[in-house]
Structure 1
Amino acid sequence: MSGQFIAFFVLALLTIGGAVFMISFHRVVHMVVALAFTFLSIAGLYILLEAEFVAMTQILVYSGAISVLMLFGIMLTRHDASEVQEKKSPVKWLIRIGVSVFFIIVFLGIQSVQWSDKPADFTAKDNVKEIGVQMFTNYVIPFEMVSVLLLVALVGAIILAKKEAEEE
């Protein structure tokens, strides 16, 4: 067992665990922290794949996105001091069993794959330059449209939260 395999295994568990905890928690702040663990673990997986630029972009963009998500969640939801009580439902247990069976099938499927011993050929050593050239030549308009869309979403969330606060 190599160190890279152990690092992959730990990062994969953190990624899956953070995602599962994110959908399991009821408080917004706990959800955001679990989501942060998931995003940071994904960035670690990118580093293992030697895609450092994508990993740093993951950290920077999603750290900002987590902050905005936290603001959206806190501004747009009502907060009670009491914890949300859930009913025990047999459907939940069926879903958990189904998800467990799915993960077992995927795990066994991955274990049965015959992987090639030949390493991948990475001919483009300067991938950051290639990403920049593609971004600012072929994809500059979609890039700017996404930034405008995110700005409009942020302003809309602020307006909705302000209207809700004025109505109370």
Structure 2
Amino acid sequence: MLTNLMDYLSSGSNIMFFIFAVLAIGGAVSMISLTRVVHMVTALALTFISLAGLYVLLNAEFVAFVQVLIYAGAISILMIFGIMMTKHQGEEEEEPKRPWHNGLLLVGVLGLFGFLFYAIQNSTFPAQALEVQEKNTLEIGKLLFNVHVIPFELMSVLLTVAFIGAIVVAKREED
């Protein structure tokens, strides 16, 4: 079983997959574990960027670019802007102390990881022929502007209306 792991980690792309997967999972767990909202948004941005790295490893450069541009950039900045615009109390509520909580959580996580590792190591996956497009961004553009042009334009109108609505709501609260 350990030889399978060593064979897996002998490739550079597999090592990068492991690093990006650990960062994505770590960022997601940190996001739900942290108590300060700004720290949560930073952990969420780490998760978004790690997912973009996974998309690059899957040869989906366009999806990775959109992931970084829209989610890691725009959504994270929008969340931080929303945090800055709202009023927060200076005091935070203290959680009750649970001494065994972290220990039981660690045992559960290690047990789940061990079970998943054992199941993946003992399973066989059929080999499939993978047909990779040379210019996948060009193909996405052709599909987007030929086949799916109506939904694309409807989404742009919807986002414009939502943006205008957000400005109107912000102006009302300011007055």
**TM-score w.r.t. length of structure 1:** 0.77
Contact 1:21-1:34 within 8 A present in 2 as well = yes
- Please list every run of 5 or more consecutive structure 1 residues that lacks an aligned counterpart in the other structure: none
* In structure 2, distance between residues paired with 1:61 and 1:165: 27
Match of 2:30 among 13, 18, 21: 21
Quick check: 61-70 or 107-116, which moved more? 107-116
The corresponding residue for 1:74 is: 84
Count the aligned residue pairs: 164
Please name the residue that 2:163 is paired with: 154
Aligned match for 1:128, one of 119, 134, 137: 137
Q: Is the 8 A contact 1:46 1:54 kept in 2?
A: yes
The aligned amino acid for 1:36 is A
Q: Which has the larger radius of gyration?
A: 2
After superposition, the C-alpha distances for 1:34-91 in whole angstroms (9 at most, x for unaligned) are 111111111111111122222112111211222122223333x43233344223469x
C-alpha separation in 2, matches of 1:161 and 1:47: 38
Aligned to 2:122: 112
- Residue 110 and residue 137 in structure 1: after superposition, are their counterparts in 2 closer, same or farther (change >3 A)? same
Distance in 1 separating the partners of 2:103 and 2:31: 20
- Equivalent of 1:85, from 69, 83, 94? 94
Once the two structures are TM-superposed, the CA of residue 20 in structure 1 deviates from its matched residue by 0.9
Alpha-carbon RMSD: 3.0
Higher RCO, 1 or 2 (CA under 8 Å, sep at least 6)?
1
Task: Give 2:76's aligned amino acid.
Answer: I
Gaps of 5+ in 2: 1-9
- How has the CA–CA distance of structure 1 residues 36 and 88 changed in structure 2, closer, same or farther, with 3 Å as cutoff? same
Q: Distance in 1 between matches of 2:161 and 2:105?
A: 38
Structure 1 vs Structure 2: percent identity of aligned residues?
46
CA distance in 2, matches of 1:98, 1:5: 27
CA gap of 1:110–1:161, structure 2 versus 1, over 3 A, is farther
1:4 to 7, 13, 35: 13
Per the alignment, residue 53 of structure 2 pairs with 44
2:4 corresponds in structure 1 to: none
Q: Amino acid of the residue matched to residue 30 of structure 2? A: F
Label 1:71 to 1:95 Cα distance change in 2 as closer, same or farther (>3 A): farther
